Amino acid sequence: MQFALKSQEIPQSQFDRVLNGNRKNGLQELDAPIHRWWRFILAFPPHLVSQYLDEFGCEGPGSTVLDPFSGTGTTLVEAKRRGCFAIGLEALDFCFLASKVKTTWEISLPQLERESKRLFADIAEEFSQYGFFSENSLFQDYQNYQNPIVCPYKLSLDQQKLLGKGYISDRPLQKLLTIQKYVLSLPPSPVADFFKMALGSMAVIASNVGFGPEIYCKKMKKDEDVWALFSNQIKEMLADLQMIQKKRFGPSSVFHQDARTMKSLGNLKIDAVITSPPYPNEKNYGRITRIENIITNLIQNKEDLRRLKKGLIRSNSQNMYKGDDDHRYVEKFSSIQRIANEIEERRLSLGKTSGWEKLYPLVAKNYFGGLYRHLLDLKPLLKRGGRCAYVVGDQMSFLMVHIKTGEILAELASDIGYKIVKIDLWRERWASASKTPIREEVVVFSKK
Ligand SMILES: C[S@@+](CC[C@H](N)C(=O)[O-])C[C@H]1O[C@@H](n2cnc3c(N)ncnc32)[C@H](O)[C@@H]1O
């Protein structure tokens, strides 16, 4: 059976137009090659990064650009594309994998194509046993829809509990787990990571999950064409690599690392940081990327989840642990203490008594304490005059107390000895609960 691996080549002009030309905050950016391999709701758009790379004069091998909260790797892809040295840190397992794969452009295409063909053939064979190819499928040789055997694959009980009921229907799940079996049997290598990320990146599409912007369960779907999702994803990734390999691009390194402790990176010399740390709100990164982490087996049980969450900035009440003491770093800041007190007073006046709500004041303090630790550790890694752009949003998630995240971040950076250059307004979002606009800003500062 032939698989059309060398799919339609995206013309270079389209690639350049998508990545370079469009300054609007639109969907075109999200469709951009490489960026489109995997995105999540909390990613920022490539053109925003591009704007600050221009402003900071980052171009070519002389520039080293860091994203300490790399997420889906947006900054890294943009910096690398310009020939800069792109360095990323990321604590969350699947985000780390995605950042790494999305910046591994030197990989051998013939090897990937060979491996894809082999994987597709093996997976198709097993899909046919379970009747996963429908009557109308193009895969004539692999149709067995009338006489299927039962697919035996299930998530472990631990993983079922972690995922929660209804997030994915049985049949799409079985298809994903069939692909998983072959992908995870590859020996560890960049090629194996390539397929692992492709598998994880389709998991949300195959599931019943929606983001509004919080994660929620949509209507249970009966089935999903997981084969088409996976094979198209691989084709797109190969086509993007084929195109990008014809171009000049910079090197990159991605570390699975907590950005609050960066001493081990002591010999780096960074020219620019463009990043977006978590915001202080109830968005739970461990939950938002749960399906990807589970389908790729990066999280197998509660202990894995706990380890993963402990490496994150304490930005929400479900991510707090006994012994957390980042708050000690910001005791002297009256602005932060005032916010914590206000949240507590609001809680008492509203008669809110849940364990989560009781944690809100401490979350706010630990959140800014974590950012303070990060900024302290960053300073020796930055070159003198090195510039930073931190994208952060004001928040009202903790009982509607207004947290001016950008303003406070600037206060912390200034205390550590950075020079605050400006705070740009990136966009305002409408907060329906408070009926007020909420600012999302870019705090720009430099090392003196
Ligand atoms: C707002 S997202 C970044 C999104 C990114 N700008 C993009 O375009 O995809 C914040 C990221 O920081 C990561 N993160 C949170 N705490 C971290 C920590 N202590 N160290 C490293 N990464 C962390 C989260 O997992 C998440 O991927």
- Residue 293, CA atoms < 13 Å, CB-side half-sphere: 26
Calpha distance 172→176 (Å, rounded): 6
Q: Is the CB of 44 under 6 A from ligand 1?
A: yes
pLDDT at 21: 37
| Shortest-distance atom of ligand 1 to CA 69 | 12
| Shortest-distance atom of ligand 1 to CA 67 | 6
CA dihedral defined by 157, 217, 40, 293, rounded to 10 degrees?
A: 0
Q: Is the CB of 316 under 6 A from ligand 1?
A: no
- DSSP 8-state symbol, 328: G
- Alpha carbon nearest to ligand 1 atom 26, residue: 71
In tens digits, what is the pLDDT along the chain, a chain of 448 residues? Answer: 333 333 333 333 333 333 333 344 444 555 689 999 999 888 999 999 999 999 999 999 999 999 999 999 999 999 999 999 999 999 999 999 999 999 999 999 999 999 999 999 999 989 989 988 866 666 656 666 667 789 999 999 999 999 999 999 999 999 999 999 999 999 999 999 999 999 999 999 999 998 876 788 999 999 999 999 999 999 999 999 999 999 999 999 999 999 999 988 888 899 999 999 999 988 888 889 999 999 999 999 999 999 999 999 999 999 999 999 999 999 999 999 999 999 999 999 999 999 999 999 999 999 999 999 999 999 999 999 999 999 999 999 899 999 999 999 999 999 999 999 999 999 998 877 778 889 999 999 999 9
Domains of the chain by residue range: 15-104+250-275, 109-244
Task: Output the CA 73–ligand 1 centroid distance in Å.
Answer: 9
pLDDT at 83: 97
Task: Output the CA 175–ligand 1 centroid distance in Å.
Answer: 30
Q: Is the CB of 276 under 6 A from ligand 1?
A: yes
How is residue 64 written in tokens? 């080293």
Task: Output the CA 285–ligand 1 centroid distance in Å.
Answer: 8
Distances (CA, A) of 273 to 86, 308, 347: 10, 24, 37
The whole-model pTM stands at 0.92
pLDDT at 286: 85
Q: Is the CB of 34 under 6 A from ligand 1?
A: no
Task: Output the CA 85–ligand 1 centroid distance in Å.
Answer: 19
Task: Output the CA 314–ligand 1 centroid distance in Å.
Answer: 12
CA 132 to chain centre: 31
Task: Output the CA 72–ligand 1 centroid distance in Å.
Answer: 8
CATH class of domain segment(s) 15-104+250-275: alpha beta
The Cβ of residue 150 has, within 10 Å, a number of other Cβ atoms equal to 8
pLDDT at 435: 81
Q: Is the CB of 299 under 6 A from ligand 1?
A: no
pLDDT at 5: 32
pLDDT at 9: 32
Best mutation site among 40, 72, 95 for ligand 1 pocket (most ligand atoms within 8 Å of CB): 95
Task: Output the CA 83–ligand 1 centroid distance in Å.
Answer: 23
Planar angle of CA 295, 300, 303, nearest 5 degrees: 145
Q: Is the CB of 268 under 6 A from ligand 1?
A: no
* b/e burial code for range 236-261 (CB count within 10 A of at least 16 → b): bbbbbbbbbeeeebbebebbbbbbbe
**Nearest residue to 409 (alpha-carbon basis) of 423, 429, 398, 425:** 423
Q: Is the CB of 371 under 6 A from ligand 1?
A: no
